[in-house]
């Protein structure tokens, strides 16, 4: 179970979830509206904007060779057409710190959050958003491209359709008075929250200086037009990046569940995969890689997702503990014909022994894929730090490194030591030594 030379071993974060005080973003405003949508505001988060050097050094010391993080559009372009030289300089320093410590950076240019001003135009339903996003990407990559070997334009371009599916599953289950395993809901969305959001839109729009009709957040733009805007934004961004930084490898990341058919669910499971993956293949034409992000499986019946199996172990996010899903998803995603990185895979739990087991089993699946000639070039655990999990606040613990909410002190968990040791040896044999 040795991994190829040059295989990237990393962990991932997102700017809004770890940096803190991302005040020019749409989510910052929404967190402070009040009401039931957010458990708590992000505040200082993990103070990673200030502590990035220590965090990168810690990842290096643990044995990791790569770090996936996002550059925050709202910091770089806090007003429409106005770019912050200070923010660009900050991210240059983050990238330089990676290189100084022998860490290969993988950068995401949009990870769920957008500048406040975009909502005044109509957000991710606005026809001009792809051009505006591409202009931001061009600016960043013209300045920082030589320091960025890999860039993901948009994180989880398919997340809105998955969230919509999850709401449909929950609604169908409620009508049938039955539980459901449901779709992946990495932002902590629930059917009740979706209902509450209808009343929440008006004050939320007011907080962003726009109207409810224009409040089209990336995560909740569920229309076909919104999905097309996102696909166009990726294509436009890729073109801009290739123009100013041709040596940078460009891709997107997709949230991909392991859709397994239950009784009578074969057609429905295939339809869900097509919606989550196949629909994005045309937009990926010209990409250098695809980022695969997986956390669990969904068992699908003919009409909606089926309940979790009796006695199934569930995570803090309500997913089934099912690390075997990653191997199944990688084998299916290989049909795109692109090199793959596992850009997110992880577990929300207070019990780190379960995280250790999850990582072991997931990586055994990756190793089997490699042995069969499937082109997987790296594995990034989500997340490096216990961070802000969107609407759920700080309760879910995904991190390999704990963060004290009062002091910002970092405490390394056994799972980080395990994965770092595997990275150093580039083999799973380390787990037995």
Instruction: Give pLDDT, residue 186.
Output: 47
The answer to whether residue 233 sits within a structural domain is yes
Rounded CA gap, 81 and 135, in Å?
Answer: 9
The answer to whether residue 432 sits within a structural domain is no
**Boundaries of domain holding 69:** 8-426
The answer to whether residue 433 sits within a structural domain is no
The answer to whether residue 3 sits within a structural domain is no
Q: State residue 248 phi and psi, 5-degree precision.
A: -75, 130
Given 156, 183, 320, 327, the catalytic residue: 156
pTM: 0.95
User: Could you tell me the two tokens for 163?
Assistant: 């969230």
User: Quick one: pLDDT band at residue 432, thresholds 50, 70, 90?
Assistant: very low
Closest CA to 369 of 340, 336, 347: 340
pLDDT in tens, 263-273: 999 999 999 99
Domains of the chain: total: 1
The answer to whether residue 431 sits within a structural domain is no
Closest CA to 182 of 305, 269, 270: 305
User: Quick one: pLDDT band at residue 66, thresholds 50, 70, 90?
Assistant: very high
Task: Encode 131-191 in three state secondary structure.
Answer: HHHHHHHHHHHHHHHHHCCEEECCCCCCHHHHHHHHHHHHHHHHHCCCCCCCCCCCCCCCH
Given a cut of 80, is residue 182 above it in pLDDT? Answer: no
Distances (CA, A) of 312 to 181, 298, 351: 10, 13, 16
- Residue 285: CB atoms within 10 Å: 10
Share of the chain above pLDDT 70, in %: 93
Strands (E), 167-272: 249-255, 258-261
User: Could you tell me the two tokens for 158?
Assistant: 């398919």
pLDDT in tens, 4-30: 999 999 999 999 999 999 999 999 999
pLDDT in tens, 192-203: 555 555 678 889
In the annotation, is 156 catalytic?
Answer: yes
The answer to whether residue 2 sits within a structural domain is no
pLDDT in tens, 100-158: 999 999 999 999 999 999 999 999 999 999 999 999 999 999 999 999 999 999 999 99
- Residue 2: CB atoms within 10 Å: 13
- Domain with 40 in it: what CATH number? 3.20.20.80
Location of structure tokens 């449901």: 182
Alpha helices by DSSP H, 303-392: 325-333, 352-371
User: Could you tell me the two tokens for 118?
Assistant: 């975009």
């Amino acid at each position: 179970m040795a991994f190829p030379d040059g295989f990237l071993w990393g962990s991932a974060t997102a700017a809004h979830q770890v940096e803190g005080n991302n005040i020019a973003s749409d989510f910052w405003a929404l967190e402070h509206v009040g009401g039931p949508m957010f458990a708590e505001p992000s505040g200082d988060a993990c103070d990673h904007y200030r502590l990035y050097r220590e965090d990168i050094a810690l990842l290096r010391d643990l044995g990791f060779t790569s770090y996936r993080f996002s550059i925050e559009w709202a910091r770089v372009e806090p007003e429409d057409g106005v770019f912050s030289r200070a923010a660009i300089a900050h991210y240059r320093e983050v990238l330089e710190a990676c290189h100084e410590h022998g860490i290969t950076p993988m950068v995401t240019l949009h990870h769920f959050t957008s500048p406040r001003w975009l909502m005044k135009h109509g957000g991710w339903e606005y026809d001009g958003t792809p051009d505006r996003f591409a202009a931001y990407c061009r600016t960043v990559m013209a300045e920082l491209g030589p320091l960025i070997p890999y860039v993901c334009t948009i994180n989880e371009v398919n997340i809105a359709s998955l969230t919509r599916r999850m709401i449909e599953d929950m609604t169908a289950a409620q009508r049938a008075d039955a539980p459901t395993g449901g779709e992946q809901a990495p932002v902590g969305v629930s059917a009740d929250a979706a209902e509450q959001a209808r009343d929440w839109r008006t004050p939320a729009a007011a907080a962003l200086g726009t109207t409810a009709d224009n409040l089209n957040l990336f995560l909740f733009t569920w229309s076909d037009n919104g999905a097309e805007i996102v696909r166009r934004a990726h294509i436009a961004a890729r073109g801009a990046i290739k123009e100013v930084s041709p040596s940078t490898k460009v891709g997107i990341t997709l949230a991909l569940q392991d859709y397994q058919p239950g009784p009578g669910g074969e057609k429905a499971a295939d339809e869900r995969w097509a919606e989550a993956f196949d629909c994005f293949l045309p937009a990926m034409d010209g990409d250098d890689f695809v980022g695969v992000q997986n956390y669990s499986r969904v068992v699908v019946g003919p009409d909606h997702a089926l309940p979790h199996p009796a006695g199934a172990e569930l995570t803090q996010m309500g997913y089934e503990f099912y690390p075997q899903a990653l191997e199944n998803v990688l084998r299916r995603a290989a049909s795109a014909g692109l090199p793959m990185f596992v850009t997110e895979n992880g577990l929300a739990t207070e019990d780190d022994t379960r995280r250790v087991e999850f990582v072991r089993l997931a990586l055994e699946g990756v190793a089997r894929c490699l042995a069969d000639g499937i082109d997987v070039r790296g594995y990034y655990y989500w997340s490096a730090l216990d961070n802000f999990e969107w609407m759920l606040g700080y309760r879910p613990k995904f991190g390999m490194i704990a963060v004290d909410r009062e002091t910002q002190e970092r405490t390394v968990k056994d799972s980080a030591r395990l994965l770092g040791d595997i990275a150093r040896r580039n083999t799973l044999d380390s787990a037995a030594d």
